[in-house]
Structure 1
Amino acid sequence: MEAKDYLKDINEIKNLMNKSSRFISLSGLSGILAGIYALIGATIAYWLVSNHSYGTLLLNGWVFKTCLLILALVALFSIATAIFLTTRKAKKNNEKVWDGTSKRLILNFLIPLVTGGLYILIILAQQKYGQAGALMLIFYGLALVNASKYSIGDIRYLGFIEIILGLIGALLPGYGFILWVLGFGVLHIIYGTIMYFKYDKK
């Protein structure tokens, strides 16, 4: 009996340490919705390009600017949804949303993401458009991997896959749009579904 009690105490200590060092209230549903937003945005952008570019996408025209706006809206809605659902889940689990762990999580996530975003804006300003989609996937994947040590470890694997898709996109720029849809749309839905049933639906 004493050995079992010791094992139980050790497991409880490990769980407490894990909770204190990792932010575990990330919502799987937010991942699903982020993927849906990405698919909707990609569909609208594809329709715009197909019906208004006449075979050539004018990168300084209104279609291109509209596509950039759609991309920004997808990111905005995804972030807002993640904040809302994660906050709701944390309150439901009686966990703090804004503490030292969540601050470290956000900081480690934003460093690669903001760096990548600024670099992409720089190359777009230089009219180097071919690698933008691949770079989005790569830097987003790096951000996930970098932040995973302060959250659910599963996001590390999503990050690795995003990086691989980005590298493939760099090698095959003609498939950049498809890989972007796969990485930000389909994978988010799959990952979010897994996380929802693994962590949320208990």
Structure 2
Amino acid sequence: MDSKNYHEDLSHIRSMMERSSRFISLSGLSGVFAGLAALIGAGYVYFVLEKAKISYFDGDRNIYTPDLIRELVITGILILIVAVFSGYIFTAQKSKKKGLKIWDATTKRLLVTFSVPLVAGGIFCLALLYHHLFVWIAPATLIFYGLALVSAERYTLTDVKYLGYCEIILGLISVFVLGWGLVFWTVGFGVLHIVYGLIMHKKYK
């Protein structure tokens, strides 16, 4: 009987330590909505390219006007805003349901760890944009985002790193298939997020 209580106490202590050192309120549904936003955004980008008389899949070297580049950048920013906002909403709901604080020391450490490679990647992509090296932007976003996820795993669910590995691998593959960035971007930020979100929702609901 004492042995059973001892093991239960250890399990309880481990659970408390896990809660205090890791942000465990990430919602799988936020990943699903982020993926859906990415798919809708990718569809809109394809429509914009067709409207500009650019046939994305014909393999030609296309010329992007400043207005077109501006519209694509704005679309990307809007997708990011929708993904972040939906992530916050679902995560806040899950935290409230579990009786946990959404903003504490662990959350701050998570955001800092996640932001370093993400901000570095964002600046790098702006440099690529400045030099008109558009075909490298999609691979760079996938790789840096994957690195951010792997780094953030230290302060959140361990499963996050597997999504990160997939994003990195996808980004590295796309480096060797330049010109198909929209396809790889759609798979990485759309499909992978939806699959990951559904798995996490089922596993941690």
Q: What interval of TM-score do these two structures reach, taking the shorter chain for normalisation? A: over 0.9
Give the equivalent residue in structure 2 for 1:2.
2
C-alpha contact (below 8 Å) 1:140/1:162 kept by paired residues? yes
Deviation at residue 174 of structure 1 after TM alignment: 2.7
Deviation at residue 47 of structure 1 after TM alignment: 1.1
State which of 139, 144, 150 in structure 1 corresponds to 2:144.
Answer: 139
Give the equivalent residue in structure 2 for 1:64.
69
C-alpha contact (below 8 Å) 1:57/1:64 kept by paired residues? no
The reply on whether 1:116 has 2:146 as its aligned counterpart is: no
- Give 5+ residue unaligned stretches, structure 2: 56-60
The reply on whether 1:181 has 2:157 as its aligned counterpart is: no
State which of 99, 120, 128 in structure 1 corresponds to 2:133.
Answer: 128
Deviation at residue 45 of structure 1 after TM alignment: 0.4
- Identity among equivalent positions (%) equals 42
Greater Cα shift, 191-200 or 171-180: 171-180
The reply on whether 1:197 has 2:202 as its aligned counterpart is: yes
Equivalences for residues 5-84 of structure 1 within 5 A: 5-55=5-55, 57-84=62-89
1:118 aligned partner, one-letter code: I
C-alpha contact (below 8 Å) 1:58/1:64 kept by paired residues? no
State which of 59, 79, 97 in structure 1 corresponds to 2:102.
Answer: 97
SS in 1 for 2:157: coil
Distance 1:115 1:71 in 2: 17
Give the equivalent residue in structure 1 for 2:166.
161
Question: How many residues of Structure 1 are paired with residues of Structure 2 in the alignment?
Answer: 200
Distance 1:72 1:7 in 2: 49
Deviation at residue 105 of structure 1 after TM alignment: 0.5
Greater Cα shift, 63-72 or 40-49: 63-72
Give per-residue Cα distances to partners, 1:55-98, cap 9 Å, x unaligned: 56432332232111111100011001111111121111110111
Distance 1:108 1:59 in 2: 35
Distance 1:36 1:54 in 2: 24
Distance 1:6 1:54 in 2: 68
Give the equivalent residue in structure 1 for 2:111.
106
Deviation at residue 175 of structure 1 after TM alignment: 2.5
Distance 1:125 1:52 in 2: 21
2:10 aligned partner, one-letter code: I
Distance 1:54 1:172 in 2: 19
C-alpha contact (below 8 Å) 1:25/1:90 kept by paired residues? yes
Distance 1:9 1:54 in 2: 64
Distance 2:101 2:136 in 1: 39
Deviation at residue 127 of structure 1 after TM alignment: 1.4
